[in-house]
Structure 1
Amino acid sequence: MKGGITKEVFEEAEKQLQKLFFDVEFRKLMVCDSEGIFPVKNFKALVRKGTDKVFSVVSPEYTLITNNYAIKIGREIFSKLFNVNDVEKIRPYFVRYPETYSYCQIKLVHEDVNFNVFEQDTWLPFIYIANSYNKQFALNYEVGFVRSLCLNGVVFDKEIISIRLPHNQINKLNLENLRFDMYDQLKSNFINNIRKLRDFKVENKFVMPLVCKIFSLNFKSVNEHKNDDSFNSTSAEIKANNDEVKLNELKYVVNNLTNKYFREIGDNAYAVFNIVTDLVSNEQEGFRLLKKFNSISNSLLSQPGKWFEEFSEKISSPTFRLEDYLKNDN
């Protein structure tokens, strides 16, 4: 998904979104033994209507939230937070789901709600939505910013909007308790921090170490693989060699992004910020490689935002040295 937020991006996202609007229903669970078929008490199956596809087995307390309803609430949050009346123009630009359709991740924007950080460097606020039928995700809403030019997005600042409710707690959803008055402060902090990052020089040789630190990537040696119960000496060496191949592939992706953003933005921390947000926003291959060394994909998505705020604060200190920062495990 390259080339920024365009008409084609919106059209493709809307096309993908429509695939998520299928009906689901609950069905009774039955067990079969030598004496016959019996109903299972206190549990039911969530099934795609018209098929035998079972998404999950749930308790009576489970409340069904359809993808359609999750997006309706997302648009309402966007409207309240950014004071938007033409709700029909709040549109998805990002839609992700697996082949099973068991969960989805969606980002909504409004083209007219945007701001410039630098000349021809436009950012838009978005609402991130996660919903699932297989219990992989709780119903989740967060606020973030996306760079219009390249679709690099970042989610952060959970004090503004952060709703995360398991489907057995949906009755606790109350939009009136949300902080809809903090957007201007969030935007101001975001712009100030980006300017700090742009003014902080970063040499090419430090980019890959920064990527590893930002995403908490874990690389195991042959001996460490041998300590895993599932590996003998031979398989441990194979595993370690495979890790080295994947690491080199990740280095190649990062190097290409470094060349791109250093050329476009300059050799600074703002370029690094774009590299890491690109990895989790657009680079499917890069994201797959990141997951190789950090299997918690939700953590990968949130790490750029955490680093953005932390690093912006640290480089404000006159004693800050990048080499020391990279050596520090904290």
Structure 2
Amino acid sequence: MGVYESLMTQIDDAGLLFNVNESRVFAEKRTVIADRVISQGLKPVPGKKALINAKTDQVISIVSDRYKVVTNEEIFSAFCESVQRSPINAKDARVFVKQTETGGRAMVDFVFPNHYTAVTGDTSQTALQLCALNSFDGSLRYMVKAGGLRMKCLNGQVLGNIVGSYSSTHTSSLNVQDSADHIVRMITDFNKAREYWSGLMQRSVSHNEAYDVIRQFLNLPEDFDMDQPNARFEHCRTLVGRYFEEMGYNLYALYNALTDYVSHPIKKSKNPTAKTTRERAKIQQVINAWG
């Protein structure tokens, strides 16, 4: 089986390749007479349309009639074709899919364990990871980003400001092939990531500094009492201690602790796609502020 077929099969097996139907939106006009609600028929809602999951017949969302529907199959077919044409070593590549119940939002991580880099001072290899996000509810732009997966602990890493990425709203300007072609540029950025991560390792961090970064990452108040019970803070503090012991007291260890926290949540989320996306962005924010 070729690279394209292998990746698309994994995506299909995860239930992501469904069609999306469009429907007009109607509102029921009602009148109250003598405490009785009387329907006066339906009126079309101007400028709106409903998107429906053709596989389940569930309504995904109500969007503007200017919203351009691009199915997951269109997006990921072009994406996987670009991977196949690229210099990525895609042997044993794996696909991990998170999506909402209706399929309205999806995050797909492509991990390439045989295309990796090594960070000076880190005993673990970091494999290339490409993350693609798509939505049919207007909550997310279509995005593709490059990152890394530290193989020793399988915690997805974020490349910070140097990362190559592509994003577009669902309008007539969305060009699926153009977004897929950015993959080659992302590979170049990944190959430069060794310098970025090595730089993080050179930035020393104390326990108190690490705890302040954790507080910011968890959106805790500035006057947060670190001695009061807080499961999320305690878990992050434990992870930081573990990575400090392995890698030394530096920003790279703190960075890995946060990516570990995001990759291995202690509590199941009702919307893991949105939660992971939000937390990955937060890691970039707090680490870039300290790097």
2:280 corresponds in structure 1 to 301
Cα shift at 1:253:
0.5
> Which residue in the other structure is 1:193 paired with?
196
* 1:58 equivalent in alignment to 2:40: no
Q: 1:25 aligns with which of 21, 25, 30?
A: 21
Check whether the contact 1:130–1:137 (CA below 8 A) recurs between aligned residues: yes
Instruction: State the Cα distance separating 1:304 from its structure 2 match.
Output: 2.5
**Cα displacement (A) at 1:99:** 3.2
Question: CA shift at 1:308, angstroms?
Answer: 4.3
Q: Deviations over 1:134-161 (max 9, x none)?
A: 2111211111122112222233466763
Q: 1:238-280 CA distances to partner (integer Å, 9 max, x unpaired)? A: xx99x997x6222210122123212322333221111111122
Partner residue of 1:272? 254
Question: What is the CA RMSD across the aligned residues, in angstroms?
Answer: 3.9
Once residues 301 and 65 of structure 1 are traced to their aligned partners in structure 2, the CA distance between those partners, rounded to angstroms, is 25
Judged with a 3 Å threshold, the aligned counterparts in structure 2 of structure 1 residues 186 and 36 are, in CA distance, closer, same or farther, namely closer
8 Å CA contact 1:156, 1:302 repeated in 2: no
Aligned length, in residue pairs: 271
Partner SS, residue 61 of structure 1: coil
* 1:110 aligns to 2:112 (yes or no): yes
* Greater Cα shift, 109-118 or 159-168: 159-168
- Measure, in 2, the Cα distance between the counterparts of 1:176 and 1:99: 26
**Residue 127 of structure 2 aligns to a residue in which SS?**
strand
Q: For 2:244 and 2:230, locate their aligned partners in 1 and report how far apart those are by CA, in whole Å.
A: 20
> Quick check: 1:193–1:309 contact (8 Å CA) kept in 2?
no
CA distance in 2, matches of 1:66, 1:16: 13
Using the alignment, how far apart are the partners of 1:127 and 1:26 within structure 2? 30
1:283 to 2:279 alignment: no
**Deviation of the 1:75 alpha carbon:** 2.4
Q: Distance in 2 between matches of 1:43 and 1:184?
A: 41
Relative to the length of structure 1, the TM-score reads 0.67
Query: Could you say which residue in structure 2 is the equivalent of 1:262?
Result: 244
**Matched residue type, 2:279:** L
Please report how far the alpha carbon of residue 105 of structure 1 lies from its aligned counterpart in structure 2 after TM superposition. Answer: 0.9
Q: Deviations over 1:294-322 (max 9, x none)?
A: x997453123334545544xxxxxxxxxx
User: Equivalent residue for 1:45?
Assistant: 50
What is the DSSP-based 3-state SS (H/G/I as helix, E as strand, rest coil) of the residue aligned with 1:125? strand
Whole-angstrom CA distance in 2 between matches of 1:59 and 1:287: 28
Q: 1:100 to 1:303 in 2, by over 3 A?
A: same
Please identify, of 299-308 and 100-109, the stretch whose mean Cα deviation from structure 2 is larger. 299-308
Q: Contact 1:258–1:271 at 8 Å: present in 2 too?
A: yes
- 115-124 or 135-144, larger mean C-alpha shift: 115-124
Question: Alpha-carbon deviation of 1:167?
Answer: 1.4
- Among residues 123, 126, 129, which one is paired with 2:132 in the alignment? 129
Equivalent of 1:204, from 204, 207, 221? 207
Distance 1:128 1:182, change over 3 A: closer
Q: Shift of the alpha carbon at 1:21?
A: 2.7
Q: SS of 1:134's equivalent?
A: coil
302 and 257 in structure 1: CA distance in 2 versus 1, 3 angstrom threshold? same
Return the letter of the residue paired with 1:84. Answer: I
Which one has a larger percent helix, Structure 1 or Structure 2? 1
Flag the 1:176–1:281 CA change in 2: closer, same or farther, 3 A. Answer: closer
Distance in 2, Cα, partners of 1:192 & 1:120: 16
